[in-house]
Amino acid sequence: MYELGVVHRSITRPDPADVASLAPFGVATVHEAMGRTGLMRPYVRPVYPGAKVCGPAVTVLLQPGDNWMLHVAVEQLQPGDVLVAACTTESEDGFFGELLATSARAHGAAGLIIDGGCRDVAELQEMDFPVFSRAVNAKGTVKATLGSVNIPVICANAHVVPGDVVVADADGVVVVPAGRVAEVAEASRAREDNEARKRARLAAGELGLDMYAMRDPLKAAGLRYVD
């Protein structure tokens, strides 16, 4: 059961240097480097091309069709934080738009991840305020029912604890536990270095069949070539 009607003011954020070291890497790299864990469901998409973000999560639990707690959460932001909003049940209403983005940015927000809808997409793109949402929906919301701020939430099937780092780009959203940020950044760098070597070999014409030693396993599985 979720804890309702509470705002936790003190959360533990990772070292900003560790967050900065993770930021250059894409979602696919981070996901693979972390042991293929942490992905949100792929229906959470950037609302405009080129949107990307990396930062510690300030979590929000919303009630369906009600964005009251997003306003409450803005007060808890620190520079570089990412709002991560879940909902007590599925809702695609437009919880977030230009005015809330203006307020959130004024208090340091780097972006928003929401398992719900947002609107004012053209304005968000003009502001370059990254939003990753379940839907784009002009339908407005009310301010009537309490949720919570800075509690553990399930957002698009991913478990997010306040202070965890979220990385989001065109490939989706991945959540890195706060205690693993430095480790995952290092593993991501090693993975990218390895991929650079593979890319050079593939660009030179080497086949993946040979680079990955696939021929014998394929033969053992029964693959036949017919001229």
- Residue 109 within a domain: yes
CB environment 189-214: b (16+ within 10 A), e (fewer) = bebeeeeeeeeeeeeeeeeeeeeeee
Report the number of distinct structural domains present in the chain. Answer: 1
Q: Is residue 224 part of a domain?
A: no
Residue 192 in any domain: the answer is: no
Which tokens hold the place of 26? 């894409």
Q: Model pTM?
A: 0.95
Beta bridge partners of 66: 63, 142
pLDDT of residue 1: 74
Q: Which residues in the chain land under pLDDT 70? A: none
Domain enclosing residue 33, as ranges: 6-185
Determine, yes or no, domain membership for 215.
Answer: no
Q: Quick one: what percent of the chain has pLDDT higher than 90? A: 99
Residue 125 lies in a domain: yes
pLDDT at 45: 98
Confirm whether 169 is domain-assigned: yes
In the block, which residue shows the tokens 């208090």?
Answer: 107
What CATH number should be reported for the domain holding residue 176?
Answer: 3.50.30.40
Residue-wise pLDDT for 44-73, tens only, equals 999 999 999 999 999 999 999 999 999 999
| Domain assignment present for 219 | no
User: Is 195 part of any domain?
Assistant: no
